[in-house]
Structures are given as structure tokens and as C-alpha cells.
């Protein structure tokens, strides 16, 4: 299945970013995938859904929650063997 991988850097951990993404994906609707903290301090988001909905999620990633300070948002297409039915936090 095709997904978009979104890598978010900056002050994005310990500011509620993953929970923010869960909420935003619910508001947008029709998205599935996950948000995960990476060891280097960034966040990886893998999402599937309609192109317009993914674009909305990417725009929200650029802003993040109130305490976040986003430095960069890099997006690329990825293939996944896993299928997600909803948007979740992955540890």
C-alpha cells in the first residue's frame, strides 16, 4: 500500500506532537497510519488517505502544537507491507 512518510524536525518531542497529530488526523478524517518519536529527536509520520487530506495533514505538521518549534518537514512516498485502519501513536 502507498503511504507518505513525513519526517518532522525541530523541537517536536515532549511537546504533545504525536497526540496533536492524532487529533488533527481525526478532524481531517479518512487518514490512517502512525506517528512515532525517533531517537534523533525527530518525529516520523506515515500516513495514507486522499491526496487532499494528506496535504492538510502536512500543513498541520508544519505548525505543530503550541509548544513545538518545527524546523523542517520532509515528505516522500513509501511502500508499506502493513495496513492501518486508523491513525495511531507507534512506540
Let me know if 90 is a catalytic residue.
no
Q: Which among 46, 10, 47, 42 has a CA at the least distance from the CA of 28?
A: 47
Catalytic residue from among 18, 60, 83, 90: 18
Catalytic residue from among 37, 60, 83, 90: 37
Let me know if 60 is a catalytic residue.
no
DSSP state of 85: S
The catalytic site residues sit at: 18, 37
Amino acid at each position: 500500500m502507498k503511504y507518505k512518510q513525513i519526517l518532522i524536525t525541530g523541537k517536536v518531542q515532549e511537546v504533545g506532537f504525536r497526540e496533536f497529530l492524532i487529533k488533527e488526523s481525526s478532524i481531517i478524517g479518512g487518514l490512517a497510519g502512525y506517528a512515532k518519536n525517533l531517537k534523533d529527536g525527530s518525529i516520523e509520520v506515515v500516513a495514507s488517505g486522499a491526496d487532499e487530506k494528506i496535504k492538510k495533514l502536512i500543513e498541520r505538521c508544519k505548525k505543530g502544537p503550541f509548544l513545538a518549534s518545527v524546523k523542517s518537514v520532509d515528505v516522500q512516498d513509501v511502500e508499506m507491507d502493513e495496513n492501518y485502519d486508523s491513525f495511531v501513536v507507534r512506540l
